């Protein structure tokens, strides 16, 4: 990015990328140990790299709930600078995530932030 003079990146990781107090039970007891623990570790490594080594870039790390197929929900997308959105549903349509990502780029919002998104 630095050599091409590109300074905006929005990347997706996942809720539960790192262990956090109060994480949903299904993340700590099912997803992390049984299903996607290694993937979450790789996502965490990317997050740490951006935070620790890319302060000169305009990054946003988006942590959506589980991605589901289907049309946009039409619901408000809730955000928290956390591992997850408190009280959010376990899934979010990919179309809603795509809209949130495009809004981040167009509005230059959530610069150098990690934000969890979800629907309530």
What's the pLDDT score for residue 76?
Answer: 96
pLDDT digits (tens, 9 = 90+) for 19-46: 666 666 766 777 666 666 678 788 889 9
Residue with tokens 């740490």: 48
pLDDT digits (tens, 9 = 90+) for 48-98: 999 999 999 999 999 998 899 999 999 999 999 988 898 999 899 999 999
Dihedral angle sign, alpha carbons of residues 53, 15, 42, 59: negative
CATH class of the domain at 8-118: alpha beta
How, if at all, do strands 78-80 and 113-118 pair?
Answer: antiparallel
């Amino acid at each position: 990015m630095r050599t091409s003079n590109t300074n905006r990146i929005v990347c997706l990781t996942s809720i539960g990328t790192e262990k956090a107090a109060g994480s949903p039970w299904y993340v700590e007891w099912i997803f992390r140990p049984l299903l996607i623990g290694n993937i979450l570790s790789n996502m965490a490594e990317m997050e740490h790299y951006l935070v620790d080594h890319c302060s000169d870039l305009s990054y946003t790390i988006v942590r959506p709930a589980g991605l589901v197929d289907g049309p946009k929900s039409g619901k408000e997308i809730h955000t928290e600078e956390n591992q997850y959105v408190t009280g959010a549903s376990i899934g979010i349509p990919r179309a809603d995530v795509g809209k949130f990502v495009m809004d981040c780029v167009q509005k230059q919002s959530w610069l150098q932030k990690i934000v969890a998104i979800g629907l309530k």
